[in-house]
Amino acid sequence: MKKFDIIIVGAGAAGSIAAYFGAKKGYCVCLLDGKTREKIGDKICGDGIGKQIFDTLNIPHPTKGEYLNIIEGIKIYPPDTGYTTTIKDTNKSGYIIDRLAFGQRLVNDAIKAGASLYDQTHAISLIKAKDQIIGVFIKSKTIEEQELYGNLIIDASGFNTRLRKQVDTPHIAKKIAHNDYIICYREILRFKNPVALDNKYVSLYLDKIRAPGGFIWYFPRNEYEVNLGIGIANKHKSKLKEYYQKYVHNPLIGDEPHTKISSGSGLVSVCKPLWNGVGNGIIFAGDAAMQVNPMTGGGLVPSMQAGFYAIQAYEVAERLDKYDARSLWGYNILYQKSMGAEFAALDLFRLALQGLPNDILDFIIKKRLITGEEISKMTSFGETKLQFSSIISKMIRGISRPKILLDLIYLMGQMKKIKSHYMNYPQSPQNLAQWIDLTQKIYEKIHKRFRLIADPIHLQGKKKK
């Protein structure tokens, strides 16, 4: 029997960062991953990561080779791609990384700090003692043990985690609503000639016809390579490749000479994080906790932040010598007041835009009824109050369709409200149910205002009336 302080399932961004900081603080850390050692980090991903996270965690920025391109911001295109809005600030600048090289760097850092890596090892199920999780049953090609024990399990095993379904803690969703994730397909392409689009910006395309329930992305890796993909609602999954070829590859690539470097598909959550990311003896991090930017599908930054917060929560639990949900609750508070608040606001923005017809999306971008600077402030800083002069200017530009402007002003108010609400995330599990009820009321207002049809299990377990 092997005993550790912390067992981490999954050596992705969240898992490797947690292993690094846990080992660095002197804890006995075990890091499990199902892939072979040299393949850890090889993942279907948009490959974009903000610069700020490296300063926040006080770790080195990627080196040349780990990153392929430096990005200044995001361009959002409506169905009429002759118009765009640009989000450019320090929070949106970053890198396009080589996912394998960067993943190898993260896991190497964890090992150098003292974490024990068991590759080709899967966590099959949780070991419980009464209502406390105390370890995992494993299946491994590299070690003989079938059971590993620890004070804390950090599940960073991804969207399709099997472990979350084995936890009976209230408000930890076992099933994810269909409209809270999209199914994606992407290709990495190398061109004979330099790419035509601005390679200093990632591009996102919103279109209810071409990408229903999701978006199209164009991430330049360098002057000659792009990460090109599409995410669509689950109900259209049978047509995923067809959508990609017809609405992404043909119009954006056409007959331009190129070779395909790689391709792949996967599921990505596009919603707020789980209400609750902790149970007795367990923390969920990264994709396993739905910690992904709802607008862009970017998960590297929120995953790394989650891994860092998980170790901070463990420090508190260790001092108390208790590893139940109450003792680990600080993880929820740290995450929900930072990334959770931003992603909840972005989730409302996403839902509202998806409820609008293509012609209205075109009108909003063309008439600059909402700008990239305003989107950035709404999500990053909570500054959703428009200046009087700005309102007048928008009224003039949108005079032919005044209801659209009123809807946008209402949306901005609700985004501000939900950010403020997340900053009041409950200090203990006892008050979580009431907090969730208030959160759902904000979502219901957006659904009603923008005429959205809720999934029967939407809002992470809301009961059907």
What is the average per-residue pLDDT within 31-38?
A: 97
- pLDDT single digits (tens) 381-430: 444 454 544 555 655 666 667 788 888 888 888 998 999 999 999 999 99
Q: What percent of the chain has pLDDT over 70?
A: 91
Contact 365, 84 (CB under 8 A): yes
* Residue 174, pLDDT score: 86
- The single residue listed with the structure tokens 């003292």 is 114
At 354, the pLDDT band (50, 70, 90 cuts) reads confident
Query: What fold, for 2-47+98-175+274-328?
Result: FAD/NAD(P)-binding domain (3.50.50)
Task: Report pLDDT for 199.
Answer: 87
Q: What's the pLDDT tens digit per position in 422-458?
A: 999 999 999 999 999 999 999 999 999 887 654 433 3
**Tokens 């402030």 identify what position?**
377
Residues 418, 340 contacting (CB under 8 angstroms): no
Question: What's the residue count for the chain?
Answer: 465
**What is the secondary structure of 396-440 as a DSSP string?**
HHTTT-HHHHHHHHHHHHHHHHHHHHHTT--SSGGGHHHHHHHHH
Q: What is the pLDDT of residue 389?
A: 47
Q: 163-177: per-residue pLDDT in tens?
A: 999 998 889 988 888
For residue 38, pLDDT beyond 70: yes
What is the distance between the alpha carbons of residues 260 and 244, in angstroms, rounded to a whole number?
A: 14
Q: What's the CA gap between 39 and 12, in Å, rounded?
A: 11
| H-state helical runs in 278-328 | 300-320
> For 198, which DSSP code?
-
Q: Cα 363 from chain centroid?
A: 28
What span, in angstroms and rounded, lies between the C-alpha atoms of 367 and 91?
Answer: 25
Question: What's the CA gap between 218 and 75, in Å, rounded?
Answer: 10
156, 307 contact by CB (below 8 A): yes
Whole-angstrom distance, CA of residue 286 vs CA of residue 242: 30
- The CATH number of the structural domain formed by 178-269 is 3.30.9.10
Return the amino acid letter for 73.
G
What is the distance between the alpha carbons of residues 43 and 160, in angstroms, rounded to a whole number? 14
Encoded tokens for 313: 């929560």
Q: What b/e sequence results for 272-305 when a residue is b if at least 16 CB atoms lie within 10 Å of its CB, and e otherwise?
A: bbbbbbbbbbbbbbbbbbbbbbbbbbbbbbbbbb
The Cα 102–Cα 203 span in angstroms is 22
Considering the chain, what is the average pLDDT of its residues? Answer: 89
Give pLDDT tens digits for 176-203: 888 899 999 999 999 999 886 788 999 9
**Tell me, what's the pLDDT at 399?**
65
Stretch among 61-70, 265-274, 333-342, 373-382 having the lowest mean pLDDT: 373-382
DSSP letter assigned to residue 384: -
Domain ranges of the chain: 2-47+98-175+274-328, 178-269, 341-461
In the predicted model, is pLDDT for residue 139 greater than 70?
Answer: yes
Residue 379: predicted pLDDT? 57
Q: What integer is the mean pLDDT of 43-50?
A: 85
- Provide the 10 A C-beta neighbour count for residue 315: 13
Give pLDDT tens digits for 262-271: 999 999 999 9
Query: Mean pLDDT across the stretch 279-285?
Result: 98
- The token pair at 300 is 């590297």
